[in-house]
């Protein structure tokens, strides 16, 4: 039985790789994509989600537009990382498929109420606004969630958009605080692990030698890696969001701890910080499996296999 998921996303080149990995994997049934404003404004993220479905040969997949701004703050975007469109690095044709009518939050609520309890996993890989809005509007769906597997936060790596905060959490800290406190089973892929998921030049060239999916990933990586190379001096692009899907496919590749994680929503210098009690000193109740390490070789072998299979399927 395939695992049913909804990917809540702000594509973003790394979101794109995560979505393609999910659509390439028979163990996963993607019930739909819900777009949220984040890396770039909503009109770009919703378009990018449609473009990715068509690239993957899935014009049937429901794609919903969601929140165009955080719960209670102005939107902060990251064009400096992802480019103006969010998928800079490759020029893809405008989508012919349309958004599915309706709001992303209603889709989240209706799906979780319709599907048997405990059978739908939420995979947020952007700011958590849509998820928080769904939980606020329909608290009855929270116990029906099988698991939330999100990319966001940091502990040892501290922050990437501010000295103390990771982008997805920083954009909507109030939403993150609500989701982390909701009580649904929560697995967090923070910068601590995603900064280890760095592409290598040989792997990128292996992608480039594949079909159009691999070639797109290679070109997105070429564009996306420049930010981290300039900032951290690292070689390669961090595949943040694909770590969530890889966790669903091969959790044995990862390791972490079940700890308490709180979200700073008032700090003058620490807004959006994930206060991860890694050393369990706070006495606060654990609420998240906080991942710190990954078998990088195994992760990229999984990506290569699945993207190769998808490319061969699409011909
Ligand atoms: O901090 C990395 C996260 O922010 C990733 O999800 C990336 O796509 C951006 O949304
Ligand atoms: Ca993202």
Kindly report, residue by residue over 105-115, the tens digit of the pLDDT: 999 999 999 99
Q: Yes or no: say if 86 and 43 are a contact pair by the CB < 8 Å rule.
A: no
The residue behind tokens 């028979």 is 26
* Residue 93 to residue 192: CA distance in whole angstroms: 35
b/e for 12-30, b at 16 or more Cβ within 10 A? Answer: bbbbbbbbbbbbbbeebeb
Sign of CA dihedral 67, 105, 48, 153: positive
Annotated active-site residue 43? The verdict is: no
- Crossing angle of helices 242-249 and 13-23, in 10° steps, is 20
Residue 125, ligand 1, Cβ within 6 A: yes
Percent of the chain scoring above 70 in pLDDT: 100
Q: Yes or no: say if 121 and 146 are a contact pair by the CB < 8 Å rule.
A: yes
Banded pLDDT at 177 (limits 50, 70, 90): very high
Banded pLDDT at 1 (limits 50, 70, 90): confident
* Residue 185 to residue 287: CA distance in whole angstroms: 8
Ligand 1 atom with minimal separation from the 39 CA? 10
Q: pTM of this prediction? A: 0.98
Residue 262, ligand 1, Cβ within 6 A: no
Gap from CA of 191 to ligand 2 centroid (Å):
12
pLDDT of residue 206: 97
Gap from CA of 183 to ligand 2 centroid (Å):
23
pLDDT of residue 151: 99
Residue 274, ligand 1, Cβ within 6 A: no
Kindly report, residue by residue over 67-92, the tens digit of the pLDDT: 999 999 999 999 999 999 999 999 99
Q: How many CB atoms sit inside 10 A of residue 298's CB?
A: 14
The residue behind tokens 């943040």 is 240
Number of domains observed in the structure of the chain: 1
pLDDT of residue 241: 98
Banded pLDDT at 274 (limits 50, 70, 90): very high
Check pLDDT > 90 for residue 157: no
Ligand 1 atom with minimal separation from the 191 CA? 1
Check pLDDT > 90 for residue 125: yes
pLDDT of residue 271: 98
Residue 167, ligand 1, Cβ within 6 A: yes
Check pLDDT > 90 for residue 32: yes
Residue 240, ligand 1, Cβ within 6 A: yes
Residue 241, ligand 1, Cβ within 6 A: yes
Ligand 1 atom with minimal separation from the 151 CA? 6
The candidate with the shortest Cα–Cα distance to 20, out of 220, 203, 202, 253, is 220
Kindly report, residue by residue over 207-257, the tens digit of the pLDDT: 999 999 999 999 999 998 888 888 888 889 999 999 999 999 999 999 999
Gap from CA of 3 to ligand 1 centroid (Å):
23
Gap from CA of 210 to ligand 2 centroid (Å):
24
Q: Yes or no: say if 48 and 86 are a contact pair by the CB < 8 Å rule.
A: yes
- Domain span including residue 112: 3-314
Strands 261-263 and 274-276 come out as antiparallel
CA distances from 57 to 76, 113, 312 (A): 32, 28, 12
**Local structure of 185: helix, strand or coil:** coil
Ligand with smallest separation from the Cα of 77:
1
pLDDT of residue 233: 85
- If you ran DSSP here, which 8-state letter would residue 272 be given? T
| Torsion angles phi and psi, residue 194, rounded to 5 | -75, -25
Q: Yes or no: say if 196 and 293 are a contact pair by the CB < 8 Å rule.
A: yes
Measured by CA distance, the residue closest to atom 10 of ligand 1 is 126
pLDDT of residue 228: 84
Q: Of 33, 170, 196, 240, which is best to mutate to test ligand 1, by the most ligand atoms within 8 angstroms of its C-beta?
A: 240
Residues by chain with Cβ below 5 Å of ion ligand 2:
10, 12, 15, 125-126, 241
CATH of the domain at 242: 3.90.245.10
pLDDT averaged over every residue in the chain: 97
């Amino acid at each position: 039985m395939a695992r049913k998921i909804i990917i809540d996303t702000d594509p973003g080149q790394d979101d794109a790789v995560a979505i393609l990995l999910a659509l390439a994997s028979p163990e996963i049934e993607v019930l739909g994509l819900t777009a949220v404003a984040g890396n770039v404004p909503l009109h770009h993220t919703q378009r990018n989600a449609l473009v990715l479905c068509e690239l993957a040969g899935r014009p049937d997949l429901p794609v919903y537009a969601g929140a165009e701004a955080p719960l209670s703050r102005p939107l902060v975007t990251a064009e400096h990382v992802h480019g103006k469109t969010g998928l800079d690095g490759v020029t893809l044709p405008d989508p012919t498929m349309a958004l599915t009518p309706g709001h992303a939050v209603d889709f989240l609520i209706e799906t979780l109420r319709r599907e048997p309890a405990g059978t739908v996993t939420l995979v947020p890989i952007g700011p958590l606004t849509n998820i928080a809005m769904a939980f606020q509007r329909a608290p009855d769906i929270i116990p029906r969630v099988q698991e939330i597997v999100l990319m966001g936060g940091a502990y040892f790596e501290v922050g990437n958009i501010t000295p103390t905060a990771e982008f997805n959490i920083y954009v909507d800290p109030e939403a993150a605080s609500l989701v982390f406190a909701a009580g649904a089973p929560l697995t967090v892929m923070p910068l601590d692990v995603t900064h280890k998921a760095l592409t290598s030049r040989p792997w990128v060239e292996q992608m480039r030698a594949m079909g159009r999916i691999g070639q797109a990933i290679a070109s997105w990586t070429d564009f996306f890696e420049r930010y981290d190379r300039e900032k951290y001096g690292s070689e390669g692009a961090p595949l943040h969001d694909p770590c969530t899907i890889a966790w669903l496919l091969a959790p044995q590749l990862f390791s972490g701890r079940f700890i308490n994680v709180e979200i700073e929503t008032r700090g003058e210098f620490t807004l959006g910080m994930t206060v991860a009690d890694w050393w369990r000193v706070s006495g606060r109740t654990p609420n998240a499996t906080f991942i710190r390490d990954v078998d990088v070789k195994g992760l990229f072998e999984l990506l290569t296999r699945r993207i190769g299979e998808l490319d061969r399927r699409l011909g």
